Chains A and B, each alone.
Chain A
Amino acid sequence: MKPPSRRALLGGSAALLAGCWQRSPGPARLTAAAAPARRVELPTVGPVVWLQVSCRAGSGADPIGAEGLAWLAAHAQRHGGTTTASADAVGDRLQAMGADIDVLVDQDQVSFRARCLREDLPALAALMGDLLLAPALDAAVVERLRASSIDALRTALPADAEALGQQVLDSWLFGGHPSGHPIRGRIGALPGLDAAMIRAHLDRCWLRGSVVLGLAGAPDDAGRAAVAALQERLSALPARLPLDLGPRAVRPVAGRELLVVEQGGSSTTGIHFGHPTRLHRAHPDWPAMALATTALGEHRQAHGRLYQALREKRGLNYGDYAYNEVFRQESGSSRQEPGTGRLQNAFIVWLRPVDPDNAAYALRVAIDQVERFVADGLAPNEFATMQTYLARRVALWGADPGRRLGWAVEAALMEWPDPLELLPRAVPALTREAVNDAVRRHLRPDDLRIVAVAPDAGPLLRAAGVDPASGAGKALLRRTGEESTSPPVGAGSPFEPEELRLASLPLALSAASVIPTEDIFR
């Protein structure tokens, strides 16, 4: 088997991926692991250059009982100084360049990204190498970062109802799986993490075959030499086999299960629902499902079916969207952040906060939309519009050279196709039948986990035919068998027959439970 190519091909990449991440070593895998560290380069013009180093181990590599270690390690690398420069000195050097190095930690990958003016590239490349490969891991910095993670889980996350709902769903779908804990960790595990554990983690994860170096720009000779030197340093990492971080079996969802997180101070109800899928970026159905969720509810765009049914029809909330993976938005835009792709994914619907009195209705409308999407698929006109739109829109994902580099590095790191190359080629070749078939294969509206973050679980439970007084904590609550939901309050005009029909649709829950925010992520 050849060493992993920079741009994995569709179809072949799935086998390559499966082959690379199995425990039993073979000579080809050892050869691949021993090859020089990979490098991705994108030529651009102008005085700005972008530098990135990514490692194929994120929070999914956290040992059991040490959840949060990957995040802590990456930030300690960035902020804890080097063996030759204190944290303050590093800050001063970056200030002089007007540059920064940002850290992105996700489930399956960690990325360090920077940009600078071309004449600063030698200094930046050298600094990047020192931070990543010779970190000082200053104890005070580690302690401060650890404390900030605890505070983030205790205070910031429960205070952000939408982020909380997303995280609770993620953890619920992948409970017991490395995907199942927040990237920041668990409150109970964090106090036990220290610099020695960080060092062990870095030794375990930073391997020659697990890193990719990326450069975008038009560097001069000094810059080129500096980047080559960084690549040499990365190539001196151990040539051990990469960690076995491949996808693991996930217990499928059966029926519709509702979990209400009671957040007493909230005045609205936000909803997330979904189920795990077999999809990932190298899956043959990925382009089809990308088109499908674009039609169902593209992030922060108004054309999706969910948005039209909930926000446009009745102004019920600020927006409604659908995804094939956890979507992390890049700062300053509504596009997905490169470097956040995962091996293990889920179909997710996000309903932004609604009036609590309208939550049950909003949930019914959203599930109805998914059911109809599966049953009927895209209409011919709708398919044609989305196909044209998505094929053209992908060009914008790489409008910024740094982002374009991010997609390319991720593809090389994860050994799956670069969406910026794949989608413009694959989307025009799709047929409506192929997309609708993929939707039927991958979406299961009868098997959903539903998370609602609400001030009071009672109204939603009663509307779903569940007796809220019949249990406490995570206990299964008793069905009363009588669902009742009204059309939306504050609608301002007479209800249409269709809205009355939607309000009467059964949710048919198979399970329901309630949990207060204080009990989350302990």
Chain B
Amino acid sequence: MTCLRLTAALVGLLGGGPALAEGIEAAAAPTAAQATVTIPAGRVLPLELAVDRLANGLTVVVVPVAVPSLVAVQTWMAVGSRQEVVRGTTGYAHFFEHLMFHGSRELPGDKRAAMLLSLGVDENAWTSSDRTCYHLQAPADALAQLLWIESDRFKNLELDQLGVRREAGAVLGEWRRAQSDPERALDAALYAAAFGQHAYNHPTIGLESDVLAMPDGLPTALGFRQLWYRPEHTTLVIAGDVDPAATLDLARATYETWTMPPVAAPPLPVEPVQAGQRTAGVIWTAGPANSWLAMGWKVPAFAPDTRDGAAMRVLVELLAGDVSPLYRQVVEDEQLAWSMAAPDPRSVDPGLLTMRVELRDRAAGDRVDALIRAAVEQIVRPPDTDAADALRRRVLAVRQQLRHGDVLELGDPASWAATVGWYTSFRGDPLDFERHLAALAAVELADVQRFAATWLVDSGRTLVRLESVAGAGQ
């Protein structure tokens, strides 16, 4: 096992104390693990992290991680349902993710799966509105084979009608499963009302008519691939017990032959500025459900190195985190709701800062809405000096919470790859993770207030209520 002597350098970064000059040294390992990991003062990512942009536009990042004998390989595509701009293609980013498991002529799906089985690989994939991620984790001795297997399906994917038809059935099953979740229906209604032009207006799983038409979707799938599944939209992240330089060479040799003819991709529509509050309603008929209230404010696209990006995260936690005054009042004190959540609002394009509240009683919706508005007002304009001081202290606490929390997420190689992959897929630079942590450390109350005053306004807000025909369970 590789040993680390971690100094106070990292502690200094996170605790706000003085950063020390010395870094971390890796002791030689008695096992096969060869990863060398040095954490310089003021950083979380190791010094030995290696990055390269290949001639075909693909970005490779290699992150040595002191977890013995395991490796994670993740392919992050800057492709999601936001690219579904052609009529009839909703759900195709997700559908194509499924089709990527069908392999190539040389390595068809079943043979590919058999090879991965023999290596003991854990693999899966997911698609969101902004990204698609293919993730594998395995014993580190499988790395070379993993890269070859993975690159093959990106370079040489081959689809046929029968395979497309079968996979469409599986996707339909997944779509049907999603229809039984009231929270998904709430989310879909919120985004459909908030976005008129941008493809955030439909769920990643797709609209029913398009999902039902997928059995005949081979031409559409091939077209989607040509437009978007290209090396210049791809970040390959390898994290674990690896030698960065050697791994970079291996990745380069494996992936540099992936080329695609030039293509003119359709422009992605820009959502016009919202000029007034919007509302929508969902009548839930698929069984018992509590009443829900959801709202979203239009916010700018996330940029990892900006004060605004950090301020947005701090604002969300300040407003609706588990220890926020609003949460305590709504869920604990007045018991108006079973839950209140504000998911991560960071998106590639201008998106939504949302809140979802599961009400204990449908009549509580107006009261909750009023409390949320009041909480926003109290952040933007605290009533007195004491309130402002308290808010300032809370900003410091939330900054620390978020920064510590981001570091605590880094456990197995897969979690390292996921964090690095997510940040790298914005601008091609894994150090954007560090920049964002630094931006969090610098956020002041004034930044949060300015963001809230600019963006959490009625003219940019969309409100949705969900009511169940059956009501809550009796």
The interface of chain A, by Cβ under 8 A from chain B, is 45-48, 87-88, 91-92, 94-99, 115-120, 140-141, 144, 147-148, 151, 153-155, 158-162, 218, 263-268, 300, 302-303, 311-319, 333-335, 352-355, 385-386, 388-393, 395-396, 399-403, 490, 492-493, 517-518
Among B1, B124, B139, B177, the residue within 8 A (CB) of A395 is B139
- Contact (A159, B404) CB under 8 Å given A144-B332, A385-B117: no
Q: Which residues in chain B, 128-145, are within 8 Å of chain A measured between CB atoms?
A: 137-139
B308 at interface (Cβ–Cβ under 8 A)?
no
Query: Would you list 20 pairs from A and B whose C-beta atoms are within 8 A, ordered by A residue?
Result: A48-B411, A87-B332, A97-B401, A98-B400, A98-B408, A99-B408, A151-B338, A154-B472, A159-B287, A263-B287, A267-B180, A268-B176, A315-B167, A317-B169, A318-B177, A333-B414, A334-B124, A335-B122, A399-B70, A399-B413
Q: How far is the CA of A147 from the CA of B169 in the complex (A)?
A: 40
Distance to closest chain B CB from A503 (angstroms): 17
Residues in B neighbouring A98, C-beta threshold 8 A? 400-405, 407-408
Contact A353 B177, beta carbon cutoff 8 Å: yes
User: Which 3 A-B pairs give the minimum distances between C-beta atoms?
Assistant: A315-B169, A392-B120, A98-B404
Q: Mark B157-170, 1 if CB is under 8 A from A, else 0.
A: 00000100111111
Q: How far is the CA of A272 from the CA of B118 in the complex (A)?
A: 29
Q: How far is the CA of A504 from the CA of B340 in the complex (A)?
A: 50
Residues in B neighbouring A402, C-beta threshold 8 A? 411
Distance to closest chain B CB from A452 (angstroms): 15
Q: How far is the CA of A118 from the CA of B391 in the complex (A)?
A: 28
B382 at interface (Cβ–Cβ under 8 A)?
no
Residues in A neighbouring B168, C-beta threshold 8 A? 315
Distance to closest chain A CB from B62 (angstroms): 18
Q: Which residues in chain B, 1-52, are within 8 Å of chain A measured between CB atoms?
A: 1-4, 6, 10-11, 14-15
Contact A159 B182, beta carbon cutoff 8 Å: yes
Contact B67 A399, beta carbon cutoff 8 Å: yes
Distance to closest chain B CB from A268 (angstroms): 5
Distance to closest chain B CB from A160 (angstroms): 7
Residues in A neighbouring B70, C-beta threshold 8 A? 395-396, 399
Contact A318 B173, beta carbon cutoff 8 Å: yes
- Contact (A317, B173) CB under 8 Å given A144-B332, A160-B180: yes
Q: How far is the CA of A493 from the CA of B169 in the complex (A)?
A: 13
Contact A401 B411, beta carbon cutoff 8 Å: yes
Q: How far is the CA of A144 from the CA of B337 in the complex (A)?
A: 10
User: Which of A91, A147, A153, A160 has the most C-beta atoms of chain B within 10 angstroms of its own C-beta?
Assistant: A91
Q: How far is the CA of A267 from the CA of B14 in the complex (A)?
A: 50
Residues in B neighbouring A393, C-beta threshold 8 A? 120-122
Q: How far is the CA of A311 from the CA of B15 in the complex (A)?
A: 50
B289 at interface (Cβ–Cβ under 8 A)?
yes
Residues in A neighbouring B473, C-beta threshold 8 A? 151, 153-155, 158-159, 518
Q: How far is the CA of A207 from the CA of B261 in the complex (A)?
A: 69
B470 at interface (Cβ–Cβ under 8 A)?
yes
Q: How far is the CA of A391 from the CA of B139 in the complex (A)?
A: 11
Closest to A187 in B: B473
Q: How far is the CA of A402 from the CA of B415 in the complex (A)?
A: 13
B397 at interface (Cβ–Cβ under 8 A)?
yes
Q: Mark B315-343, 1 if CB is under 8 A from A, else 0.
A: 00000011100001001100100100000
Q: How far is the CA of A151 from the CA of B468 in the complex (A)?
A: 15
Distance to closest chain A CB from B54 (angstroms): 28
Contact B165 A492, beta carbon cutoff 8 Å: yes
Q: How far is the CA of A339 from the CA of B214 in the complex (A)?
A: 41
Contact A399 B11, beta carbon cutoff 8 Å: no
B189 at interface (Cβ–Cβ under 8 A)?
no
Residues in B neighbouring A46, C-beta threshold 8 A? 4, 6, 66
Among A91, A352, A386, A493, the residue within 8 A (CB) of B322 is A91
Closest to B1 in A: A45
Closest to A98 in B: B404
In the complex, besides A88-B328, A265-B286, 13 extra interface pairs with C-beta distance below 8 angstroms are A46-B6, A88-B323, A95-B397, A147-B335, A265-B470, A266-B180, A268-B173, A303-B114, A317-B173, A388-B120, A392-B120, A399-B67, A517-B288
Contact B120 A155, beta carbon cutoff 8 Å: no
Contact A45 B4, beta carbon cutoff 8 Å: yes
Residues in B neighbouring A263, C-beta threshold 8 A? 287
Once A and B bind, how many residue pairs between them come within 8 Å at the CB atom?
209
Contact B289 A318, beta carbon cutoff 8 Å: no
Among B137, B215, B414, the residue within 8 A (CB) of A492 is B215
Contact A392 B173, beta carbon cutoff 8 Å: no
Residues in B neighbouring A268, C-beta threshold 8 A? 173, 176-177, 180
Closest to A92 in B: B323
Q: How far is the CA of A91 from the CA of B397 in the complex (A)?
A: 12
Q: How far is the CA of A353 from the CA of B176 in the complex (A)?
A: 8
Residues in A neighbouring B306, C-beta threshold 8 A? none
Q: Which residues in chain B, 287-314, are within 8 Å of chain A measured between CB atoms?
A: 287-290
B56 at interface (Cβ–Cβ under 8 A)?
no
Residues in A neighbouring B14, C-beta threshold 8 A? 117
Contact A315 B165, beta carbon cutoff 8 Å: yes
Residues in B neighbouring A318, C-beta threshold 8 A? 170, 173-174, 177
Q: How far is the CA of A304 from the CA of B271 in the complex (A)?
A: 45
User: Which of A120, A386, A395 has the most C-beta atoms of chain B within 10 angstroms of its own C-beta?
Assistant: A395
B277 at interface (Cβ–Cβ under 8 A)?
no
Distance to closest chain A CB from B400 (angstroms): 6
Closest to A160 in B: B180
Contact B179 A396, beta carbon cutoff 8 Å: no
Contact A144 B335, beta carbon cutoff 8 Å: yes
B412 at interface (Cβ–Cβ under 8 A)?
yes
Distance to closest chain A CB from B389 (angstroms): 16
Closest to B212 in A: A490
Residues in A neighbouring B138, C-beta threshold 8 A? 392, 396
B69 at interface (Cβ–Cβ under 8 A)?
yes
B197 at interface (Cβ–Cβ under 8 A)?
no
Residues in A neighbouring B209, C-beta threshold 8 A? none
Q: Which residues in chain B, 452-474, are within 8 Å of chain A measured between CB atoms?
A: 470, 472-474
Distance to closest chain B CB from A120 (angstroms): 8
B119 at interface (Cβ–Cβ under 8 A)?
yes
Contact A395 B408, beta carbon cutoff 8 Å: no
Closest to B332 in A: A144
Q: How far is the CA of A486 from the CA of B139 in the complex (A)?
A: 45
Contact B15 A352, beta carbon cutoff 8 Å: no
Contact B323 A395, beta carbon cutoff 8 Å: no
Distance to closest chain B CB from A480 (angstroms): 30
Closest to A381 in B: B114
Among B11, B169, B405, the residue within 8 A (CB) of A47 is B11
Q: How far is the CA of A398 from the CA of B412 in the complex (A)?
A: 9
Residues in A neighbouring B289, C-beta threshold 8 A? 155, 159
Q: How far is the CA of A319 from the CA of B174 in the complex (A)?
A: 9
Q: How far is the CA of A315 from the CA of B176 in the complex (A)?
A: 13
Residues in B neighbouring A317, C-beta threshold 8 A? 169-170, 173
Q: How far is the CA of A514 from the CA of B433 in the complex (A)?
A: 54
- Contact (A352, B173) CB under 8 Å given A96-B400, A98-B403, A400-B411: yes
Distance to closest chain B CB from A253 (angstroms): 28
B398 at interface (Cβ–Cβ under 8 A)?
yes
Closest to B415 in A: A400
Q: Mark B204-217, 1 if CB is under 8 A from A, else 0.
A: 00000000000100
Q: How far is the CA of A46 from the CA of B35 in the complex (A)?
A: 14
